[in-house]
Amino acid sequence: MKIIDIIKDKKPSLSFEVFPPKTSDSLESVRNATEQIATLKPSFMSVTYGAGGGTSEFTLEIAKNLQKNQEITALAHLTCVNSTRDEIKSRLKMLSNSGIENILALRGDITPENRDRTKWDYHYANELIEEIKKDYDFCIGGACYPEGHPESLNQKHDIENLKRKVEAGCEFLTTQMFFDNNLLYNYIYKIRESGIEVPIIAGIMPVTSGKQIKRSCELSGCSLPQRFKMIVDRYSDNPEAMKQAGIAYATEQIIDLFANGINAVHVYSMNKFDVATKIKENISEIIK
């Protein structure tokens, strides 16, 4: 099933993100974790893609297993920053042959190994989207950044780039994690004013450790509201308390999003079945 058809429904949509293993040694344990999350019957599940395409084989394996054996709609991430045009075409063919209908098209992270932009066949996500649209009928999603992409000059510049993705064929957008819902509401107002009308999926990260959130914020450039900083400062040295507080905070965000008309929420569950389970339990009556 195509994700655009799922999220256009008025019913609240709850989905989870999982990530593939870095090596084949842990493939079975990761597959088991993703299968556990699949038992929660989310609206769909996304499968991430390593920097430079390092986990492409496992991304396909996990996505295919979720869709074929667990009967869960899979959204396969695809990055292009360190890939040739031929490599991307080959991956698209494999995804199509495996029955995957949905792709999250991303530029991907810049690593020390791929900093030489003269060697890139693709420089931006909109170029990847254009490539996909040439020969395939995938439902294509893209990323958006309520606090602006870390490399953008400013938010206006970032929204201009976002329009290029949509004009290239992006059908829905999933946000980078954020911890203040007002940031998202203000952002949606601005992108709607710019003429972007595709559905927005809100990306929520349940924070389960202090170290995790500090590193995530460094990489993504997202900010922490003072209220949440106090939670991290108070509970980060107590893992179980931090997990409970982080899940509670994420739950509160999700309830507020649904109440304010954001019908699609994507949880960055980090392959943690217990976290995904608790989130779903906390809103079980809301998403009926």
Average pLDDT over residues 216-235: 85
Q: How far is CA 2 from the centre of its chain?
A: 16
pLDDT at 214 exceeding the cut of 80 = no
Q: What is the pLDDT of residue 118?
A: 67
Tell me if 287 is assigned to some domain.
no
pLDDT at 230 exceeding the cut of 90 = yes
Query: For the chain, first and last CA: distance in Å?
Result: 20
DSSP string, 50-107: -GGGTTHHHHHHHHHHHHHTS---EEEEEE-TT--HHHHHHHHHHHHHTT--EEEEE-
Cβ atoms within 10 A of the Cβ of 98, count?
16
Tell me if 42 is assigned to some domain.
yes
pLDDT at 165 exceeding the cut of 90 = yes
Q: Which residues pair with 86 in a beta bridge?
A: none
Q: What is the pLDDT of residue 89?
A: 95
**For residue range 95-142, what is the model confidence (pLDDT) as tens digits?**
999 999 999 999 987 766 666 666 778 889 999 999 999 999 999 999
Q: What is the pLDDT of residue 245?
A: 95
Tell me if 175 is assigned to some domain.
yes
pLDDT band at 211 (very low <50, low <70, confident <90, very high): confident
- Cβ 247 vs Cβ 278: under 8 Å: yes
Strands 74-79 and 172-175: unpaired
- Cβ 47 vs Cβ 76: under 8 Å: yes
The question of whether 17 is a catalytic residue gets the answer yes
Tell me if 288 is assigned to some domain.
no
Domain count, the chain: 1
What CATH number has the domain bearing residue 233? 3.20.20.220
**For residue range 243-266, what is the model confidence (pLDDT) as tens digits?**
999 999 999 999 999 999 999 999
Residue 43 CA to residue 58 CA, distance in Å, equals 22
Residue 18 CA to residue 67 CA, distance in Å, equals 14
Give CA angle at 151 (150, 155), nearest 5°: 75
Choose the catalytic residue: 17, 101, 131, 171: 17
Tell me if 112 is assigned to some domain.
yes
In terms of residue numbers, what domain contains 53? 3-282
**For residue range 34-78, what is the model confidence (pLDDT) as tens digits?**
999 999 999 999 999 875 556 778 999 999 999 999 999 999 999
Q: What is the pLDDT of residue 54?
A: 60
Rounded to the nearest 10 degrees, the angle between the axes of helix 273-282 and helix 27-38 is 10
- Residue 40: which of 58, 22, 60, 14 has the closest Cα? 14
Q: What is the pLDDT of residue 116?
A: 65
